Chains A and B, each alone.
Chain A
Amino acid sequence: MADTNPIKQFEVHEVFQFEAFGLNLAFTNSSFFMVLTTLMTIVLFTVAMGSRATVPNRAQSVAEIIYGFVADMLRSTAGSEGLRFFPFVFTLFTFILVANMLGMFPYFPAPGWHSFTITSHIIVTVALAMAVWLTVLVYGVFKNGFGFLKLFKPSGVPGYILPFVVLIEVISFLSRPVSHSVRLFANMLAGHILLKVFAGFIVMLAGALGAAGYLVGILPFAMTLALTALEFLVAFLQAYVFAILTCIYLSDALHPGH
């Protein structure tokens, strides 16, 4: 009977051992998918924009649509000065999008090996969210000095509740990396666990009922199909939400107190 444990898909396996300075720097399946994500993004965009035609062909059109999508998102939330962060936001968006999509392959590259969703580990999403939060903090203080503290005093607040509002704003600012990272992590984790649980039902039915189990197994199969479609949507949506929240936080660094 096949192993239907839904948690095993998140295990990190070492591919090449490598130790340096007492740290375990092995190349794992997680590292492999990160390298694959980066290479795929670079190759896709380089090849698509290679022709540089004024009237774009199909591939160049896709690249330009993605570029325009992120640029519009950044410009509408952070204003035209926000565009200095465009490489950062574009990198984040495409990295998370391609990483989430790579995790949707059931077999990669062949049955026997499964794909690995790098964003389903909290450390990866925390690293991305901390990069955003520290950029906001450092750039906000660098550009505005003490004026950055205006972020914690919203305009139009009466004097008597001001201390409480400032306290709530500070706590809310400090909880940004937590919510930013946990949102992406939990969505990916829960989605993939759900998929494996329903797929496991098919195997369990076949094991319990034999041949008739495969017939009744149409039902969990249909559910797995629907969930896979939902997971594709969630993969794109979570990349978009991560990027747009990044834009909103960056606009706080550029114009605090708006």
Chain B
Amino acid sequence: MEAEAARYIGAGLACLGMLGAAIGVGNIFGSFLQGAMRNPSAAQQQFGNLIFGFAVTEALGIFSLLIALLALFG
């Protein structure tokens, strides 16, 4: 197999890692909405935690995208 073909295949495989990150991000916001429905007055206080949890979870998906980009262009 040529190196060029292997690059594209590697980049495609690396993107599968974003599956887990996508589920994680949905989990975060879903839990927040569930909690907010039960206790709407306390929801605004937890907004900072929500954004922090979202960013940390999304970072892992971005790490996977980084590997894909490194495989394509590195």
Q: Say what secondary structure dominates the interface of chain A.
A: helix
- For A7, list chain B residues within 8 Å (CB): 73
Q: A7-B73, A179-B59 are in contact. Are A190 and B66 (CB under 8 A)?
A: yes
- How many chain A residues sit at the interface, stated as a range, is 10 to 19
- For B73, list chain A residues within 8 Å (CB): 7
Q: With CB as the reference atom, state the residue of chain B lying closest to A248.
A: B52
A237 contacts chain B at the CB level, 8 A cutoff? yes
- Whether the Cβ atoms of B51 and A237 lie closer than 8 Å is yes
- Whether the Cβ atoms of A190 and B65 lie closer than 8 Å is yes
Taken residue by residue from 95 to 114, chain A's Cβ proximity to chain B (1 for < 8 Å, 0 otherwise) reads as 00000000000000000000
Chain B: interface residue total (CB-CB under 8 A): 13
Q: A7-B73, A237-B51 are in contact. Are A190 and B59 (CB under 8 A)?
A: no
Q: State which of A78-86, A204-212, A214-222, A238-246 sits at the interface with chain B.
A: A238-246
A-B pairs with beta carbons under 8 Å apart, 18 shown: A76-B48, A179-B59, A182-B59, A182-B63, A183-B55, A186-B63, A186-B65, A187-B59, A189-B66, A189-B69, A190-B62, A190-B66, A237-B51, A238-B55, A240-B55, A241-B56, A241-B59, A244-B48
- Which residues of A line the B interface, CB within 8 A? 7, 73, 76, 179, 182-183, 185-187, 189-190, 193, 237-238, 240-241, 244-245
